[in-house]
Amino acid sequence: MSSSKHGKTVLGRIVDVFSLAVVFGIGYGASRVTSSFGEAAIAFALGLLLLGGTLMSELVEIIGVPHLTGYLLAGILAGPYVFHLIDHATAQKLEAVNSLAIALIALAGGAELRIDSLRQGFKSLLTATVFQTLFGLVLMAGVFFVARPAFVRDMPIVALAGVSLLWGVLAITRSPSATLAVLSQTRANGPLARFALSFIMASDVVVIVALAVVVTIARPLIEPGVALSFAAFRDLGYELLGSIAMGTTLGLALAAYLKLIGKQLLVVLVALGFGATEVLHYLSFDPLLTFLVAGFVVQNLSRQGDKFLHAIEETGGVVYVVFFAGAGAHLNVPLLREFWMVALLLTGSRVFVTFMSAKISSRVAKDEPAVRTWAWAPLVSQAGVSLGIAQVVARQFPSFGPHFRDIAIACIGINELVGPVLFKFALDRVKETKQPSPSLDDAEPTVLNS
């Protein structure tokens, strides 16, 4: 039996298709039985997403699509908007897994950032941050202003300008989770992979600051009679400094634990993902930034970085499958169908602005050829951070916020599906991905390697 270039025989692919059909078939029957039993429904949903996501990721690999896209597709099919194997209530309860996934993603992202690499690419990183932030925010605010979705058409020009600025902030968000998932699968290493990791992790801090600034400016524009208040900047300072201080402390504690004990790391990481996240929310600190700093400290201020990364990889394999498959289950397909025209306009414009900003910044920074050509590709994906900002706008501006969030979800859904594919394609083109060994052609996939 001949084998595919992705390391599996044709028979193996047929078995994957049959297995996926069996899983969804069993899921259809089981969903009719477990839907009224809370704990049983959650356990069933976790198993379905894990098996379905893993099998789907193996199938989409045939056409060179990243595993992440397979997880998302499995979630979409199993979710409440397509086959309804998982209902809305169960999908909501699965969000508890997000806390653990975000913690692992941020810890791994921080641990992947090394001072030497950051120092070498500082000029490129700084230039890209300035151009992508300023150009992206201003130009995408202008696109939104011109497009005028239905819910803002009757607004005064000044109020429309305020809403457009909020959209500009949403447009400059990226997806650390998608970036790390693609890099983890491909084991990519090179100028483009290093640039993507450094820029996207740093951009989260920039977005937090930009959101506070824009909300402060936009509120008087949108709500006449509201005075400009700088209280948001005080809160921002508390959040940033507190998160950095807490992350540094946590990183030092983790480094000491790894050196002195170094056992039961799975328990420690799970406890951080669930327990520490709740404490950070209570203290009004940003979990993503806190865990990012903690991972950075472990990698650069101790000798435990490689051991720490290995522990996260072992823990994160299963969690990532459920996390992205759960994100697919949450993707509101009817909403995407309703807003597809304006969503395509806004997402297409965002890709173009990102592309042009990357070209200009790379030319100014005199980047390496791989970065100069493909620096825009990893910046298309959006996910959790973007959804978080959409929720903030919906909560802060109830008069139009829910409509803003609905269109944002439609756009994020498109970027979530397209972005990882573009990034993997770019990594393949510049030959930074590691090809599977011929000796593994007949090996069976495992969840942890997904």
**Which CATH number fits the domain that encloses residue 143?**
1.20.1530.20
What does the pLDDT read at residue 425? Answer: 94
Q: Tell me, yes or no, whether 199 lies in a domain.
A: yes
Q: Do residues 281 and 93 lie in contact, with contact meaning Cβ atoms separated by under 8 Å? A: no
Residues 130, 176, single domain; the answer is yes
Q: Tell me, yes or no, whether 32 lies in a domain.
A: yes
| Residue 257: strand, helix, or coil | helix
What does the pLDDT read at residue 2? Answer: 45
| Residue 9: strand, helix, or coil | strand
pLDDT one-digit tens code per residue, 301-317: 998 888 898 888 777 67
pTM greater than the 0.85 cutoff: no
Q: Tell me, yes or no, whether 436 lies in a domain.
A: no
Residues 79, 109, single domain; the answer is no
* C-alpha distances out from residue 405 to 48, 190, 196, 386, Å: 29, 37, 27, 10
Residues 83, 169, single domain; the answer is no
DSSP state letter for 435: P
Residues 261, 141, single domain; the answer is yes
pLDDT bin (cut points 50, 70, 90) of residue 297 is very high
Residues 105, 236, single domain; the answer is yes
Residues 90, 102, single domain; the answer is no
List alpha helices for 6-95, DSSP H: 10-34, 38-60, 67-78, 88-93
Exposed (0-12), middle (13-18) or buried (19+): which is 373, by Cβ within 10 Å? middle
Residue 261 has pLDDT above 50, yes or no: yes
Residues 115, 41, single domain; the answer is no
Residues 155, 255, single domain; the answer is yes
What does the pLDDT read at residue 295? Answer: 92
Residues 100, 159, single domain; the answer is yes
Q: Which of 62, 79, 94 is the last residue of a domain?
A: 94
Q: Tell me, yes or no, whether 437 lies in a domain.
A: no
Structural domain that includes position 24:
10-94
Q: Which of 27-36, 269-278, 328-337 has the lowest mean pLDDT?
A: 27-36
Residues 64, 178, single domain; the answer is no
pLDDT one-digit tens code per residue, 409-447: 889 888 988 999 999 999 999 999 875 444 333 333 333
Q: Tell me, yes or no, whether 1 lies in a domain.
A: no
| Residue 445: strand, helix, or coil | coil
Q: Do residues 277 and 231 lie in contact, with contact meaning Cβ atoms separated by under 8 Å? A: no
Q: Tell me, yes or no, whether 445 lies in a domain.
A: no
Q: Tell me, yes or no, whether 179 lies in a domain.
A: yes
Q: Tell me, yes or no, whether 410 lies in a domain.
A: yes
| Residue 424: strand, helix, or coil | helix
Could you give the number of structural domains in the chain? 2
What does the pLDDT read at residue 449? Answer: 35
pLDDT bin (cut points 50, 70, 90) of residue 8 is low
Residues 137, 210, single domain; the answer is yes
Residues 268, 313, single domain; the answer is yes
Return the top range by mean pLDDT from 10-19, 108-117, 186-195, 378-387.
186-195
* C-alpha distances out from residue 194 to 114, 328, 368, 415, Å: 10, 27, 12, 21
**Tokens of residue 400, six digits:** 């139009």
